[in-house]
Structure 1
Amino acid sequence: MPRLSGDLIVAACRTLPLGLVAAAGGTGLLMAALSRTTGEAGEWLALPLLRVAILAFAMGLVFLLDDPARHTTATVPTPRPVRIALRVGLVAPVVAAWWTAALLLVPRDLRPPVADITLEAGSAFALAVAAAVVAVRRSDIARPGPRLAAGLLTSAMLALLFWPGRWALFVPVQDERWAAAHDRWAVVAVAALLVGVLGAGEPVRRWSWPVVRGR
């Protein structure tokens, strides 16, 4: 595996969309903090607010591989999997710190089971990064993030409203389907990781995004 030079790490840090990730993270933390201001309703609002926080941060992570100069960096000798792994590795401590802060913002007596809700968060974040990996591999667009964020939000709404109840993912803690739902979250996490790893390789060919031209 090629050795990572300091210059490569510095260059990767400079191209990370830290502003977008920070904005999404800040929005998510605000959502989590609202659980402290809901009074008696906090008992049933804490979990939905934490899930909204997860979604907000995941929408920031889909921008992780956005790079206006990607067509220039594609010619460098460092393989694509290494460049992607470097970006993910650089942002991983930020994700861990953000998730710790989000959990701590929820009062302890209102906090859902930490291991289970962490599995939900990890699955959502893995899905976000996997979507970015696939978009970069399968298209020439330099900034797929906005389209991916819209797609992630739409998918979450559709899953919440129309996903079959017997395969439910978003269930309350008291629901008898809680354990089964998190078995499904584990499957989602593994599938997202596999897609991300397999999609990180050099593409054979790319899709072309449709372009509408004026007459």
Structure 2
Amino acid sequence: MRGVTVMTRALLPPVWRALPRRALMAAAAVGLLLAAVPRMRQGPPDPYLGLYALRAAALVFALGLAFLLDDPARHITSTVPARRPVRVALRVALVAPGAVLCWTTALFLVPQDSRPPAGALTLEAAATAVLALAAATLAIRRTRTTEPGAAISTWLLATGTTAILLLPHDWTLFVTPQDPRWQPTHDHWALLLTVATVVGARACAEPLRAGLRLRPFRTAPGKGAL
């Protein structure tokens, strides 16, 4: 355990330097700007504007997190003693406080009269963020790409459009608080969060390297095994 702790501390500085700061900071800035739109609007409170502003902010935050595992030096760092789950966990741990702070700020930027139920919207934001991270983790595991962020963010946008247009009426993920499907819809969001978490955790495991196969030991002809 002590060796793992020492190794983790040694990894923190290089992992921190390797974070895609530009993508993360840009996503945070745009997301907070979108969340502030209802506050900048003149006139009576508009709950629908607050709902859509927070959903847009959650999507932008998730698009930023899609770049979290980008690592141009991936094929070099894969040889370090720390396994991929440790390296991924470190990246997530380093950005998690900032992500929580950004979302909390986004919630308070929306005026209280226009703010939808915070718990339900937080569930939506968490599921979207974990889905982006799980997709990036799968891309790292299944391909040799070093920077999957752009492809994953495009996929996430396409998935959101599909969810709006093609999901059946009973499985729609985007409803208003006044809709009787509000609670069942957030049960679906909870299921999506659970599935994305499990898939992302399993995808963190590194596959066996190509060419490594266990072969049965064979003795020379006419000699017995030792």
CA contact (8 A) 1:138 1:203 kept: no
The structural deviation recorded for 1:66 is 0.3
1:25 equivalent in alignment to 2:46: no
Q: Contact 1:138/1:205 (CA < 8 Å) preserved in 2?
A: no
1:129-140 pair list within 5 angstroms: 129-140=133-144
Asked if the contact 1:35–1:46 (Cα under 8 Å) also holds between the matched residues in 2, the reply is yes
Residue in structure 1 matched with residue 116 of structure 2 by the alignment: 112
Q: 1:160 maps to what in 2?
A: 164
Shift of 1:164: 1.2
Q: For residues 78-101 of structure 1, what are the alpha-carbon distances to aligned partners after superposition, in whole Å with 9 as ceiling and x for unaligned? A: 111101111111111011101111
| Unmatched tracts of structure 2, length 5 or more | 211-226
Q: Which of the two has higher C-alpha Rg?
A: 2
Match of 2:15 in 1: 12
Question: Given the alignment of the two structures, is residue 103 of structure 1 paired with residue 146 of structure 2, yes or no?
Answer: no
Aligned residues: 206
1:94 aligns to 2:95 (yes or no): no
Answer yes or no: is the 8 Å Cα contact 2:45–2:114 preserved in 1: no
- Amino acid corresponding to residue 29 of structure 1 in structure 2: L
The one-character-per-residue Cα deviations of 1:153-212 (angstroms, maximum 9, x if unpaired) are 111111112211111110001000000000000000000100111000012469xxxxxx
Q: Give the share of equivalent positions with the same residue, in percent.
A: 47
Is the 2:27–2:63 contact (alpha carbons within 8 Å) kept by the matching residues of 1? yes
Helix, strand or coil at the partner of 2:102: helix
Q: Find 2:59's aligned residue among 55, 62, 70.
A: 55
Residues in 1 aligned to 2:169 and 2:53: alpha-carbon distance in whole angstroms: 21
RMSD: 1.4
CA drift at 1:110: 1.1
Output the amino acid matched with 2:154.
A
Instruction: Quote the offset at 1:36 in angstroms.
Output: 1.4
Match of 2:183 in 1: 179
State the AA in 2 paired with 1:17: P
* Match of residue 209 from structure 1: none
Listed as ranges, the gaps of 5+ residues in structure 1 are 207-215
1:128-163 per-residue CA deviation (whole Å, 9 max, x = no partner) reads: 111111111111010011011111011111111221
CA distance in 1, matches of 2:131, 2:189: 11
Task: Tell me the TM-score normalized by structure 1.
Answer: 0.92
Q: C-alpha distance in 2, partners of 1:204/1:194?
A: 20
Aligned-partner SS, 2:46? helix
TM-fit CA distance, 1:6: 3.1
Q: Does the 8 Å contact 1:36/1:42 carry over to 2?
A: no
- Whether contact under 8 Å (2:45, 2:113) holds in the other structure is no
AA aligned to 2:109 is L
Structure 1 residues 28 and 187, CA gap change in structure 2 (3 angstroms): same
Change (3 A) 1:193 1:178: same
Q: 1:5 to 1:200 in 2, by over 3 A?
A: closer
